Amino acid sequence: MFLLFMRKFQIIFSLFMVTVLLLAGCDSSSSSSGNKAGSKYKEIETIELEGYIVKYGFFLDETGGILFWGEEDTVYSNNELGRYVWVDGDVESLDMDVYGTATALSDSGFLLNNVNDFNREPNHSLHQYNPKTGEDEEFLVGEDYDDLIHVGRGTYSEDANAYIHIVTNTDLEGVDTYIWNVETGEYTDLSIIQDLKDFVGGKLSLYPQLTLTNDLSTVYAIVENAGIFSYDVASSELE
């Protein structure tokens, strides 16, 4: 009974999100008057679901015109039924081997994900897919930086087409990170991980959360039990 209730709730919630947040439109008079009485909304599309919405896989682009989501057979099962993108009234089923759990939808409507292929050199790459045009691009990481990448919101700057690498094991000797300018193929080595370890006394309890400014000049880090830091890329100074 509980699972049936959860399933009904999941479907109702999903349709509510699709109908109200993504697909709602108001007339010209209501767009300038905010919540003025008489504002009108209309349903554009209803999307049928086969399973439960994946909790960490539900994204809208900044225009509300593209929706990306994943479905699983039961709540928190990690057994995904599929990944889908809605654009221009059509639902496209995506290859989960390429656009799986870690995929994110960027503000401008691109799907971003890292792909690992150990049958080639280098092993790791960034995939970028434009669901409006069907254009799919792959960018191989440099041989000297061929480790696991984590492309997504917060680690990827669309304005500069650049990615900041997130370190998942800070206990390794000499470990640090870098900025990858995907468009130019240039890499900028950073000392921020070692600087943070020095600040907290040699060991980080968790890997820091890093984000990059659009002009690639500053990295911000959140460190558990230590605070928020800024790192100047040009001078390598940490504050």
Q: What is the pLDDT of residues 88-107, one digit of tens each?
A: 889 999 998 888 878 999 99
d(C-alpha 188, C-alpha 211), whole Å: 15
Indicate if the pLDDT at residue 112 is higher than 50: yes
Indicate if the pLDDT at residue 212 is higher than 80: yes
pTM, to two decimals: 0.75
Q: Which of 218, 227, 235, 233 is nearest to 157 (CA)?
A: 218
Detail the DSSP E strand segments found in the chain: 52-60, 66-72, 80-87, 90-94, 104-105, 111-116, 124-130, 135-140, 156-157, 162-164, 177-181, 186-190, 209-212, 218-223, 227-232, 237-238
Q: Residue 36: what pLDDT?
A: 53
Per-residue pLDDT tens digits for 57-72: 789 999 989 999 999 9
Q: What is the mean pLDDT of residues 22-42?
A: 53
d(C-alpha 178, C-alpha 41), whole Å: 46
Indicate if the pLDDT at residue 20 is higher than 50: no
Q: Which residues pair with 90 in a beta bridge?
A: 87
Q: Residue 159: what pLDDT?
A: 87
Indicate if the pLDDT at residue 19 is higher than 50: no
What is the token pair recorded at 160? Answer: 């500069």
CB 131 within 8 A of CB 91: no
Q: What is the mean pLDDT of residues 101-124?
A: 91
pLDDT grade, residue 236 (50/70/90)?
very high
Tokens 């209309």 belong to 42
What is the token pair recorded at 206? Answer: 């968790």
CB 114 within 8 A of CB 124: yes
Q: What is the mean pLDDT of residues 18-27?
A: 45
Indicate if the pLDDT at residue 142 is higher than 70: yes
Average pLDDT of the chain? 83
d(C-alpha 161, C-alpha 139), whole Å: 11
d(C-alpha 100, C-alpha 108), whole Å: 20
